[in-house]
Amino acid sequence: MDLQLSGKTVLVTGSSKGIGEAIATTLGREGATVVVHGRDKTQTERVAQAIVAEGGRAHAVLGDLTHDEAVEQLIEAAEGSVGSIDILVNNAGGAGGAMETWDEVRPATWLASYDRNMLAALRVTRRLLPAMRRAGWGRVVNISSGAATMPPPFAPDYAASKAAMNAMTASLAKAVAGDGITVNAVSPGTIRSAALEAHFRGIAVERGLAAPGAPWEEVERAILPMVAQVPLGRVGRLDEIADAVAFLASPASGYITGVNLRIDGGLSPSL
């Protein structure tokens, strides 16, 4: 299926590794000109160079999305390299390192999580929307989380910030529907990133369920049931997230807006 992304420009925030890197790489393969964003210069340039090495077009920009000035600077750099941005993927954010329980919870942690996830996406989105409106076409894809609709008993700040992102998605989709812009969210479930694999392997070795260096399938089979009851019985792949984002970012998805697409192997107990 031709996603008609050739000639489109896309900014993927937080794309120097993990899900963001997979999304940027996939969009590059589909013909889009990709602006790779990160805070680590070496990592960010590595991803951009890899896209170019595959025959794609990519540029690297750096900046901390929790600062208005840095956002303005990175967008100016992006537009200076590729022109106006047609597609925005708000992927930057994450749970951070606190992972507090309700016994430990602090307002400062909630503020930092909200800034890192929700407000970072807001800063970039509001800066790029006027150009999309003038062009009469645009795509915004927000990378949310299954935690937004199924919050665990720990890290409530992260779940709340992603729930806010879902609300932002629905509201913005209605506000810009008449301007040729669609806004959707993607909520990954348990996905095999480098961090998740290391976590699974650590548990497996600690509990004597798998040897160091055991095949991933063996580790996955032993640990996944302890972490999440996924009906499909496996961990998701990065490319499965990236392919869904590429579709939502494309002209082919023009009648889909305001959606939260859960990619979780059936983990969610409801529609």
Q: What is the pLDDT, as a whole number, of residue 47?
A: 98
pLDDT of residue 148: 96
Read off φ and ψ for residue 4, nearest 5 degrees.
60, 40
Tell me which fold the domain 9-191+237-263 belongs to. Answer: Rossmann fold (3.40.50)
Distance CA 88, CA 35 (A): 10
Distance, CA of 231 to chain centre: 23
Question: What pLDDT score was predicted for residue 139?
Answer: 98
Domain boundaries, the chain: 9-191+237-263, 192-235
pLDDT in tens, 193-236: 999 999 999 999 999 999 999 999 999 999 999 999 999 999 99
> Does residue 98 register a pLDDT over 80?
no
Does residue 1 have a pLDDT over 90? no
Active site includes 158?
yes
* pLDDT of 231: 96
10: its two tokens: 């896309």
59-69 confidence digits (pLDDT tens): 999 999 999 99
* Nearest CA-CA partner of 22 in 269, 250, 260, 243: 243
pTM of structure: 0.96
- Quick check: 46 pLDDT over 80? yes
pLDDT of residue 3: 96
Query: Is 101's pLDDT higher than 90?
Result: no
Catalytic residue among 114, 154, 158, 200: 158
Q: What is the pLDDT of residues 47-61, one digit of tens each?
A: 999 999 999 999 999
Residues 160-180, mean pLDDT to the nearest whole number: 98
Kindly tell me if the per-residue pLDDT of 112 is higher than 80. Answer: yes
Residue 260: predicted pLDDT: 98
Average pLDDT of the chain is 96
* Cβ atoms of residues 111 and 35 within 8 Å: no
> What per-residue confidence (pLDDT) applies to 28?
98
User: How far is the C-alpha of 128 from the C-alpha of 29, rounded, in Å?
Assistant: 23
- C-alpha–C-alpha distance, residues 14 and 142, integer Å: 12
